[in-house]
């Protein structure tokens, strides 16, 4: 069509007829599905759950887990249904006692000023929410009316406690605090203390601290047992290290958490050529602690796929001392720089330590060149106090 209009020359037009139908066509392999998304949500769909009644056995948790529109709908309908139910009861009491027909009824009604269902509904609202306008009230004529009054007050208190507690728990859920716990977008692998280490950065944007903060890491990948059993999500715990050692961290400023890749690590045979989106590898990081202001336990999660791990890079420093206090520059939170790193697995590095000597020799001329350039700049620089 384009060639007919003269937009594209005829010799440059390719058609599907020129393709060989017998030649196989290959499609690029899709990226591996995440088990945990970057924001911490678990990418798991629960299907074919037959025992739905188990959710009703824990009604409070079910209400808290519902979305806000459904929660507000249940909140409204619970009050309306209770008002209508007891309005019907008050109307039946008035009807049985003959209060709806003042000329034919008893001299003292069970509830004053109830002449229709509308007035019974208004009285039901006044009883349950304790408004008490003063126009309607229960008399001592009917003991049943007094009993219904007590029951409606108890039911109203129970509905208030459950629904208000549900809304409070939804507004104070632990994952809200986790929104200000951040992880670096990429993880890195580089040398630290002459060992290959898997490193990531974690930080807290709020001034209120996370008490007893702990961090855990797991590797999730598809494995097959020697007996032939396929485990689609095999989880392996990995020890994490920080500046003080162990899994407990003092998260008052951003920290670089690292894992030493040794013989006991699942990353022992990981090479730079394996860091692509086809690799079946996902590393899950879990940060857990107690919120200082509310005392609620919170948990923040993230994950790193193979193509989100940068080999031979290191995080730039973001904490500096200014005016007698430490300042954190969050604009460089995820920035990295390239550093000399052997392009081999940790196993190969343990078997051949001479690979580190090659890096040392290569780093020497670069360091000398940098020192020479610094001296040259200092030699030809002009002091601001020099005479003109």
Judge whether residue 314 has pLDDT over 90: yes
Both 335 and 207 in one domain: the answer is: yes
- Helix then strand then coil, % of the chain, to nearest 5: 35, 25, 40
**8 Å CB contact between 261 and 268:** yes
Judge whether residue 112 has pLDDT over 60: yes
193 confidence band (pLDDT: 50, 70, 90): confident
**8 Å CB contact between 257 and 238:** no
Both 195 and 70 in one domain: the answer is: no
Both 165 and 196 in one domain: the answer is: no
Question: Considering the domain boundaries, does residue 207 fall inside one?
Answer: yes
Both 339 and 258 in one domain: the answer is: yes
Domain housing 302: 177-360
The number of distinct structural domains making up the chain is: 2
The per-residue DSSP string of 216-227 comes to EEEEEEEEE-TT
DSSP 34: P
Higher pLDDT, 247 or 223: 223
Both 231 and 149 in one domain: the answer is: no
Question: Considering the domain boundaries, does residue 294 fall inside one?
Answer: yes
Judge whether residue 3 has pLDDT over 90: no
Q: pLDDT tens for residues 213-246?
A: 888 899 988 888 888 888 888 888 887 765 555 5
Q: Which residues of 152-185 are buried (b: 16+ CB within 10 A; e: fewer)?
A: beeebeebeeebeebbeebeeebeebbeebbbbe
For the chain, what's the residue count? 388
- Which candidate, 204, 167, 154, places its Cα nearest to that of 71? 167
Both 282 and 325 in one domain: the answer is: yes
Judge whether residue 63 has pLDDT over 90: no
Higher pLDDT, 20 or 31: 31
Confidence (pLDDT) at 4? 44
pTM of the model: 0.69
DSSP 192: E
**8 Å CB contact between 232 and 222:** yes
Both 155 and 199 in one domain: the answer is: no
Both 298 and 155 in one domain: the answer is: no
Q: How far apart are alpha carbons 323 and 234 in whole angstroms?
A: 50
Q: pLDDT tens for residues 85-102?
A: 999 999 999 988 888 876
Instruction: Name 332's Cβ contacts closer than 8 Å, sequence gap at least 6.
Output: 316, 318
SS3 223: strand
Of 127, 157, 172, which residue is a domain's last?
172
Q: What percent of the chain has pLDDT over 90?
A: 29
Q: How far apart are alpha carbons 386 and 388 in whole angstroms?
A: 6
Q: How far apart are alpha carbons 285 and 203 in whole angstroms?
A: 13
**At how many degrees (to 10) do helices 68-97 and 117-128 cross?**
120
Both 220 and 167 in one domain: the answer is: no
Both 250 and 309 in one domain: the answer is: yes
Both 191 and 162 in one domain: the answer is: no
CATH number at residue 167: 1.10.287.70
What's the chain's average pLDDT? Answer: 80
Both 88 and 237 in one domain: the answer is: no
Mean pLDDT of all residues in 57-83: 88
Structure tokens at 173: 């859920």
Confidence (pLDDT) at 8? 46
**8 Å CB contact between 289 and 214:** yes
């Amino acid at each position: 069509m384009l060639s007919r209009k003269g937009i594209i020359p005829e010799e440059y037009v390719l058609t599907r007829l020129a393709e060989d139908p017998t030649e196989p066509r290959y499609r690029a392999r899709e990226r591996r599905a995440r088990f945990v998304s970057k924001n911490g949500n678990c990418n798991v769909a629960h299907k074919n759950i037959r025992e739905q009644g188990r959710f009703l056995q824990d009604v409070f948790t079910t209400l808290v887990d519902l979305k806000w529109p459904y929660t507000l709908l249940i909140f409204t309908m619970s009050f309306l249904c209770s008002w209508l139910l007891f309005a019907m009861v008050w109307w039946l009491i008035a009807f049985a006692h003959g209060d709806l027909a003042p000329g034919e009824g008893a001299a003292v009604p069970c509830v004053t000023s109830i002449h229709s269902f509308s007035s019974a509904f208004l009285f039901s609202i006044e009883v349950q929410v304790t408004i008490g306008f003063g126009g309607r009230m229960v008399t001592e004529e009917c003991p049943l009316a007094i009993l219904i009054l007590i029951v409606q007050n108890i039911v109203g208190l129970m509905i208030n406690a459950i629904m208000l507690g549900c809304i409070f728990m939804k507004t104070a859920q632990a994952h809200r605090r986790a929104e200000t716990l951040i992880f670096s977008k990429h993880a890195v692998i580089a040398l630290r203390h002459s060992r290959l280490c898997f490193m990531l950065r974690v930080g807290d944007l709020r001034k209120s601290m996370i008490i007893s903060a702990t961090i855990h890491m797991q590797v999730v990948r598809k494995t097959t047992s020697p007996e032939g059993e396929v485990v689609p999500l095999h989880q392996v715990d990995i020890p994490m290290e920080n500046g003080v050692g162990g899994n407990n961290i003092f998260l008052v400023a951003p920290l670089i958490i690292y894992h030493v890749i040794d013989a006991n690590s699942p990353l022992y045979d990981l090479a730079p050529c394996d860091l692509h989106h086809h690799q079946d590898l996902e590393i899950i990081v879990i940060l857990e602690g107690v919120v200082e202001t509310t005392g609620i336990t919170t948990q923040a999660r993230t994950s790193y796929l193979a193509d989100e791990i940068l080999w031979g890079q290191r995080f730039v420093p973001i904490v500096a001392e200014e005016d007698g206090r430490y300042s954190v520059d969050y604009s460089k939170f995820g920035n990295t720089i390239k550093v000399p790193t052997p392009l081999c697995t940790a196993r190969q590095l343990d078997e051949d330590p001479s690979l580190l000597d090659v890096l040392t020799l290569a780093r020497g001329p670069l360091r000398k060149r940098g020192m020479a350039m610094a001296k040259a700049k200092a030699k030809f620089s002009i002091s601001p106090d020099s005479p003109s």
